[in-house]
């Protein structure tokens, strides 16, 4: 059964440490990925404001902007018409559950994408207590922390998981069996991370076709 593939975790723009493709669309075409949620590399590695401005000017319906949210005390909450924002509290040196971040998240009401290495299970649980309706997409969970991830998903009904790095035997199937395919989301982290492996993983999941199609298109989050 054919299905739409949405990459929920992709980058656009130059990276300062390698010669990697700046435009994701040729690789998306090669791998049969119809749409992608993209964050600009400038926002991650250089200038958050400049990266977000470049991202929001893309104008390509295949590329869904995911600007980086950098909560600034005394600054107004940005008025972005986007479905999801990205937070980098470790990289950008702010508290995930600090008063400014909580105020901005409550005002925005958007999905939050955050890399597991940017935070901790304790901080994510604290966020869920402070903002129980906040939807979170956890990026790059890896496969060595499946027990901790399982505990988080059990405790946080509004937590979804990007599966690109869950590349251990039947790891995705284990998660789907406990939490449902709707809380699992296809993503790659490309081009900084490999995109062929996650695409191969998606094509070889031992799950019903309807579940695979749901994961491929963004679960019941996107």
Q: Which two three-digit tokens encode residue 201?
A: 């993983």
Q: How confident is the model at residue 2 (pLDDT cuts 50, 70, 90)?
A: confident
Residues 119-133: what's their mean pLDDT?
A: 97
Whether the pLDDT of residue 182 is over 80: the answer is yes
For 159, the enclosing helix (H) or strand (E) is: strand 159-162
Dist. CA 69–CA 199, nearest whole Å:
28
17-64 pLDDT, tens digit each: 899 999 999 999 999 999 999 999 999 999 999 999 999 999 999 999
Dist. CA 73–CA 100, nearest whole Å:
6
Mark out the alpha helices in the chain (DSSP H runs).
Answer: 25-31, 41-45, 48-56, 89-92, 99-108, 121-130, 146-155, 171-179, 196-203, 209-216
Q: How confident is the model at residue 195 (pLDDT cuts 50, 70, 90)?
A: very high
Dist. CA 50–CA 168, nearest whole Å:
37
Q: Which two three-digit tokens encode residue 14?
A: 């130059």
Dist. CA 191–CA 24, nearest whole Å:
8
Residue whose token pair is 């199609």: 213
64-80 pLDDT, tens digit each: 999 999 999 999 999 99
pLDDT for res 1:
53
Nearest to 139 by CA among 109, 95, 184: 184
Long-range contacts made by residues 81-86, C-beta under 8 angstroms, separation at least 24?
82/56, 82/110, 83/37, 83/110, 83/111, 83/222, 84/37, 84/110, 84/111, 84/112, 84/113, 84/137, 84/222, 85/110, 85/111, 85/112, 85/113, 86/39, 86/43, 86/112, 86/113, 86/114
pLDDT for res 191:
97
Mean pLDDT estimate for the chain: 96
Q: State if pTM tops 0.85.
A: yes
For 64, the enclosing helix (H) or strand (E) is: strand 63-65
What are phi and psi for residue 40, nearest 5 degrees? -80, 135
88-109: b or e for each residue (b if 16 or more CB lie within 10 Å)? Answer: bbeeeebebbeebbbebbeebe
Whether the pLDDT of residue 3 is over 90: the answer is no
């Amino acid at each position: 059964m054919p299905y739409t593939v949405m990459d929920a975790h992709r980058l656009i723009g130059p990276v300062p440490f390698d010669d990697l493709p700046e435009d994701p669309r040729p690789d998306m075409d090669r791998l049969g990925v119809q749409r992608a949620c993209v964050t600009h590399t400038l926002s991650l590695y250089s200038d958050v404001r400049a990266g977000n401005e470049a991202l929001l000017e893309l104008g390509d319906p295949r590329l869904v902007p995911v600007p980086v949210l950098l909560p600034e005390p005394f600054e107004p909450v940005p008025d972005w018409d986007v479905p999801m924002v990205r937070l980098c509290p470790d990289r950008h040196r702010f508290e995930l559950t600090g008063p400014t971040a909580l105020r901005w998240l409550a005002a925005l009401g958007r999905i939050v994408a955050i890399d597991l290495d940017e935070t901790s299970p304790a901080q994510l649980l604290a966020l869920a207590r402070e903002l129980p309706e906040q939807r979170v997409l956890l990026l790059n969970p890896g496969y060595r922390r499946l027990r901790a991830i399982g505990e988080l998903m059990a405790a946080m009904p509004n937590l979804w998981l990007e599966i690109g790095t869950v590349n251990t035997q039947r790891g995705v199937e284990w998660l789907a069996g406990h939490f449902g395919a709707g809380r699992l989301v296809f993503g790659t982290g490309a081009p900084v991370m490999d995109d062929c492996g996650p695409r191969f993983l998606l094509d070889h999941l031992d799950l019903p076709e309807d579940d695979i199609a749901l994961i491929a298109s963004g679960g019941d989050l996107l």
